[in-house]
Amino acid sequence: MSDVDGSRGDYRRWREEVYEPFRRKGGERRQSFATRSGIPIEPLYTADHAAGVEERNGFPGEYPFTRGVYPTMYRGRLWTMRQYAGFGTAEESNRRYRYLLEQGTTGLSVAFDLPTQIGYDSDHPMARGEVGRVGVAIDSLADMEILFEGIPLDRVSTSMTINAPAAILLCMYIAVAEKQGVPAEKLSGTIQNDILKEYAARGTYIFPPEPSMRLVTDTFAYCSRHLPRWNTISISGYHMREAGCTAVQEVAFTLANAIAYVEAALAAGLEVDQFAPRLSFFFNADSEFFEEVAKFRAARRLWAKIMRERFGARDPRSLMLRFHTQTSGAALTAQQPLNNVVRVTLQALAAVLGGTQSLHTNAYDEALALPTEASAGLALRTQQIIAHEAGVTETIDPLGGSYYVEALTDEIERRAQEYLDRIDEMGGAVAAIDRGFIQREIQDAAYRFQQQVESGERIIVGVNAYTAEAEAMPEILKVDPSLERQQAERVRQVRANRDAAAVAQALERLERAARGRDNLLPYILDAVRVYGTLGEICDVLRGVFGEYRPHDEL
């Protein structure tokens, strides 16, 4: 880590006179110690390692927001407990949402199935086998009406994990609200809308980067006028981390993508302070506790600097990195699944001590299947125990000033900045993804981690150590395979019973707009209002924009 001369020299003295002779005699558990990002770890951290940190950090609610984006943080209001859920049909998911709301969840988070995320209706041949599996199937406004039945949209905030067709699902949400009598300006929530990480890691892209970026910036512009309380994007490191990258890379690649969105919006003629306050972020909370806490703090400080120094943002809200966190799915083990309850607790605690604005805790059975109602309930209880019993919410940034956490925060920021410089040299995130740089970095890190686990250098309890022979398997959730047929039938019914001429007209107008330069959201909204389906709208856009073809390499 940073070279410490030691203003008082006490650390150096202790290290040479006390620590080294002892170490030489007794040895240590390992030759060298490092975080999973490869940051070397000193045997001890002292004030010498965190010199000047108070100036670098500032205060909560003030630039550069290292210690938190709000002046009161959890003393004012706890984080939003937002459990990602959705499966099967709109009816089943609607029941799960109502259950979660009754249990005290404070925000909804909609999981869509893969055909919805990739713009296929449920009766499309490419949708086969995937309908309703990893989330709810939404083909048209008719499904969306059922999904939110009995849930007042002016009183909940809803996060939707949707990217390539984000504008379409947002328009469906607006249209459902209209039917409930809720005007768009009262809607609060988030669409993920982060297409760049789909090319880099997650895989639910449809169109090539350029028109995809237009859909993103059209959404920024539309929401700045009509949905002032809506988070127009959730710039996500989560999935790149799940794909195997390190904490440092997660910060770097997420902020590189964020820079690309800001630049695209500026190029589209928007003012930075017009859209930047509604940018939000999404990070992973993995198991290495201190590195994770430091990661969130470093990301906040780095983003504030980028927005102020690089983009000249003036509105303080433009400088604040507000983020959602989900505990790591990749860290969950299929072996001894109950151990995952403990992993999730530690990860969630890191997110809270890192100052997250909202949190999803994974259920312990998710390496085996989608969570059951009981396991999802326990995951939520985990957050509630952290919030109300652990005493970690009564003061702001309680780990601030820990020599180790501060040194890690500095080092993560420095290493992430190095990546950002390299990505800038390549021409930015879009170019770096296009040449496979980000993908390669992620894959290399994933492979290194796997090798460390297989060599026993990293212990995963129950997997490569402390294993058990016979294990009791928990009850798991099964998605009924017949629902694919039902859902395909439903979308055919919708197509048969709507005003066909109105749909044809709306799709034609959308096509013309897509060929031109108009903001596409009003055209999409018109099409969803008359029950044009997701697949139909995406087909129109595929016709104009083309489809993305990845180039995979090992």
Residue 390 is a binding residue for other proteins (CB under 8 A): no
Least distance CB 16 / other proteins (angstroms): 42
**Is 353 within 8 Å of 73 (Cβ atoms)?**
no
* Residue 189, CA distances (Å) to 111, 140, 142 in order: 14, 20, 21
Residue 180 is a binding residue for other proteins (CB under 8 A): no
Least distance CB 536 / other proteins (angstroms): 18
**161: β partners:** 111
Residue 128 is a binding residue for other proteins (CB under 8 A): yes
Q: Mask of contacts with other proteins, 134-163, x by CB under 8 A?
A: x-----------------------------
Residue 130 is a binding residue for other proteins (CB under 8 A): yes
**Is 359 within 8 Å of 325 (Cβ atoms)?**
yes
Nearer to other proteins, 40 or 481 (CB): 481
Residue 554 is a binding residue for other proteins (CB under 8 A): yes
What lies within 8 Å, CB to CB, of 463 at 6+ separation is 333, 335, 453
User: Which residues, numbered 213-242, are part of the site for other proteins (CB under 8 A)?
Assistant: 242
Nearer to other proteins, 346 or 476 (CB): 476
Q: Which stretch binds other proteins (CB under 8 A): 125-133, 149-157, 230-238, 507-515?
A: 125-133
**Is 191 within 8 Å of 160 (Cβ atoms)?**
yes
* 3-class DSSP assignment, residue 177: helix
Cα separation, 196 vs 247, in Å, equals: 18
- DSSP string for 62-82: STT-TT-SSSSGGGT-PPEEE
Nearer to other proteins, 473 or 501 (CB): 473
Residue 321 is a binding residue for other proteins (CB under 8 A): no
Residue 198 is a binding residue for other proteins (CB under 8 A): yes
Q: Which stretch binds other proteins (CB under 8 A): 56-64, 98-106, 174-182, 456-464?
A: 456-464
**Is 428 within 8 Å of 267 (Cβ atoms)?**
no
Nearer to other proteins, 392 or 476 (CB): 476
Least distance CB 469 / other proteins (angstroms): 14
Within 10 angstroms of residue 191's Cβ, the number of other Cβ atoms is 27
Q: Mask of contacts with other proteins, 395-434, x by CB under 8 A?
A: ----------------------------------------
Share of the chain residues as helix, strand and coil, in percent rounded to the nearest 5:
50, 10, 40
Give the residue, chosen from 260, 294, 416, 479, that forms a contact with other proteins under the rule CB under 8 A: 479
What lies within 8 Å, CB to CB, of 476 at 6+ separation is 365, 368, 369, 370, 372
Give the residue, chosen from 268, 341, 369, 544, that forms a contact with other proteins under the rule CB under 8 A: 369
Nearer to other proteins, 248 or 370 (CB): 370
Cα separation, 320 vs 250, in Å, equals: 18
Q: What is the dihedral of CA 211, 139, 478, 161, to 10 degrees?
A: 40
Give the residue, chosen from 101, 268, 392, 463, that forms a contact with other proteins under the rule CB under 8 A: 463
Q: What is the dihedral of CA 356, 357, 363, 369, to 10 degrees?
A: -110
Query: Would you tell me which residues interact with other proteins (CB under 8 A)?
Result: 114-115, 117-118, 126-130, 133-134, 198, 201-204, 242-244, 330, 332-335, 366-370, 443, 446-447, 450, 453-454, 460, 463-464, 473, 476, 478-479, 481, 550, 552, 554
